[in-house]
A = this chain, B = another copy of it.
């Protein structure tokens, strides 16, 4: 919610306002249910401006999604580049976790993209997953067990946020409170180290 109003007031470039409004709206409603008029209203413009700057609803969506994918990948790449072999799994896991905490909007966006256009994601995923996979192989080899564990860790990390609406009843407290997030972060780090040891 903040990300559509506050940045809109700071930078008053129409293109940027549309982009951040679209990010919020697409994340909230998905591509099909989002309306260009609503996006324009959030960006304090008219719908025609969206076509003027981006060429159409689909092109705007593609821009927003590519941007989000790039941001997530940059975060993970930075975690890999940060240090040596030591503690890399924990760095990767925590980078993913922190990304999801700070950019919950982008997670919704990318999740929806996976649900809506799984096929399109499959085609483009080579460019995104390829480099990350290669870097992982440099560090861990290409053992099946390591790959399997990596999938489990990514699922465990993002699952906490995906199932957040249901976790309140399960955990007995707000899953997104600072204390809860800190506890979850510790758990993720410990779990990663435990699993790392188990493959050695």
Query: What is A's interface to B at a CB cutoff of 8 Å?
Result: 29-33, 108, 111-112, 114-116, 118-119, 121-122, 125-126, 128-130, 133, 144, 147-160, 162-171, 183-184, 187, 191, 194-195, 198
Contact = CB atoms under 8 A, between A and B. Distances in A.
A148 B184 contact: yes
B115 A111 contact: yes
Contacts of A112: 115
Copies of this chain assembled into the complex: 2
27 contacts: A29-B116, A30-B115, A30-B116, A32-B32, A33-B33, A114-B163, A114-B166, A118-B165, A119-B165, A121-B166, A122-B169, A125-B165, A125-B169, A129-B166, A133-B169, A147-B170, A148-B184, A151-B156, A151-B159, A151-B170, A151-B171, A152-B187, A153-B156, A155-B158, A155-B160, A155-B162, A162-B162
Nearest to A114: B165
A11 to B, nearest CB: 28
Contacts of A166: 114, 121-122, 125, 128-129
B122 A151 contact: no
Contact of A30 (B30, B128, B150, B162): B30
B126 A187 contact: no
Contacts of A114: 162-163, 165-166
Contacts of A148: 183-184, 187
Contacts of A152: 156, 159-160, 187, 191
A180 to B, nearest CB: 10
Contact of A169 (B130, B144, B151, B164): B130
Residue of A114, A122, A156, A191 with most chain B CB atoms under a 10 A cut-off: A156
Contacts of A147: 170-171
Nearest to A35: B32
A114 B183 CA distance: 23
Top 6 A-B pairs, shortest CB-CB distance: A155-B159, A32-B33, A152-B156, A118-B165, A155-B156, A129-B169
